[in-house]
Amino acid sequence: MNERHGYKMKLKNHRGFILLLLLLIIPLVAESNYLYSTLVIIGLYAIIVQGLGILMGYAGQVSFGHAAFFGLGGYTAAILTTRFHWPTLLALFASAILPGIIAGLIGRQTLKLRELYLALATLSFGILVHIFFNEGGELTGGPSGMSGIPNLSIGSFEFDSDQKFYMLVWLVLLMLLIGIYNLVHSRTGRALCSIRESEYAAENAGIDCARLKLQAFVFSALLAGLAGGLYAFYVTFISPSPFSFHTSVQFVLMAVIGGLGTFWGPVIGAVVVVALNELLREIVPLLIPGAGGEYQIIIYGVILVGLMIFQPKGLSGIGQYFRIPLKKQLKTDVKIRG
């Protein structure tokens, strides 16, 4: 069983790498800062959703508070570099670690909750952190936010262009994908899957569910924080508004659209959600002259609902069109609860 499982993942990987290669080649063909920055945003979201994917898809725990970790990472990087003049690279590490620590502290309590209650707990944590950003006074710059964040630099090499940043973000994402690939094929990965299927059964099989869930939670917060730090260095301005509840929902949406418990799901989810938004901004005004964002949001919603109807297990499932028998596919996408 294990062997076959591993073999299948490899096959899937090949297709994934074609997609990834395509994403890496496009920018080199059409040299465009707009494209780079769209891909930077996609990459950042994909990093967050990767972590969320482990938490939701493998460990079976839902979180509506990941925008908070994203924001905590961003603010950590912003505060350490502008107020305390830390080197940017060090601040970037801190921006991943601090949300991780906070996740560890709150996770110990909240992860005892299940399903709806856990969702509510993470949701209220997200709102709490958002209030903190707004009320932080001198420290966070309050509702006006903070500007003047320096560019990220390693030694004398400065990530000052969209192209350089794009390469950095996707390199991080690539390393992360390799790491996650190994993780989900390890003992821990299988243990996580078993928690998702049944916590009681997993517990009986000798798996320390509480610890594993906490680890998954901390891991996903680390990644969200890292993406937040990168975001702060990319835009060089930060304010509370991108880290609201709405963003948390967006992340969950990406994870679900991409496909929970699948390897490529998070990347696909991030690509689809961001690219669709950008495309609609281009296309909708051509179809309906003078249409504002309202129309885009409606069409966007209709498309997403359509996707969920025809592809309820997420878009990564469409890979089966590439001559993967339906039966096998179903086995990999082991039943997802809810």
Partner 1 sequence: MKKITMRLKSKLWLALLLVLSLLISACSPTKEADVKSAGGNEPYKIGAVLDISGNSSSLGVPERDTLLMMVEKLNANGGVKGHPIDLTIMDNKSDETESVLAVKTLIEKGALAILGASSSGTSMAMIKTVQSEKVPMISLAAASSIVEPTSERQWVYKTAQSDIVMINKIISYLKKNNLNKIAFLYMNNSYGDNGKKAISAAVKDSGIDIVAEEKFDANDKDMTPQLTKVKASGAQAAIVWAIPPSASILTKNFKDIGLSIPLIHSHGVGNQKFIELAQGAADGVILPIGKLSVAQQISDNDSQKKVLESYIADYSKKYNAEPNSFGGYAWDAFNLLVNALEKAGPDRVAIRDELEKTQGFVGISGVFNMTPQDHNGLKEDSAVLVQVDQGKWKLIE
Residues 6 or more apart from 208 whose CB is under 8 A from it? Answer: none
Q: Closer CB to partner 1, residue 37 or residue 188? A: 37
Q: State the DSSP H helix or E strand holding residue 83, giving kind and residue range, or none if neither.
A: none
Q: State the DSSP H helix or E strand holding residue 263, giving kind and residue range, or none if neither.
A: none
Tokens 């502290």 locate to: 105
Q: Closer CB to partner 1, residue 16 or residue 317? A: 317
- The site that binds partner 1 (CB under 8 A) totals a number of residues, namely 50
134 near partner 1, judged by CB under 8 A: yes
279 near partner 1, judged by CB under 8 A: yes
**Cα 91 from Cα 77, distance rounded (Å):** 5
Selected binder of partner 1 within 1, 3, 148, 206 (CB under 8 A) = 148
Selected binder of partner 1 within 310, 335, 337, 338 (CB under 8 A) = 310
276 near partner 1, judged by CB under 8 A: yes
Selected binder of partner 1 within 21, 154, 178, 283 (CB under 8 A) = 283
207 near partner 1, judged by CB under 8 A: no
311 by Cβ neighbours in 10 Å (0-12 / 13-18 / 19+) ranks as middle
Tokens 């051509």 locate to: 286
153 near partner 1, judged by CB under 8 A: no
**Footprint (CB under 8 A) of partner 1, residues 18-57:** 22, 26, 29-30, 32-35, 37-38, 41
The three-state secondary structure class of 145 is coil
Residue closest to 260 by CA, chosen among 208, 337, 205, 319: 337
Selected binder of partner 1 within 163, 215, 220, 296 (CB under 8 A) = 296
Q: Closer CB to partner 1, residue 16 or residue 107? A: 16
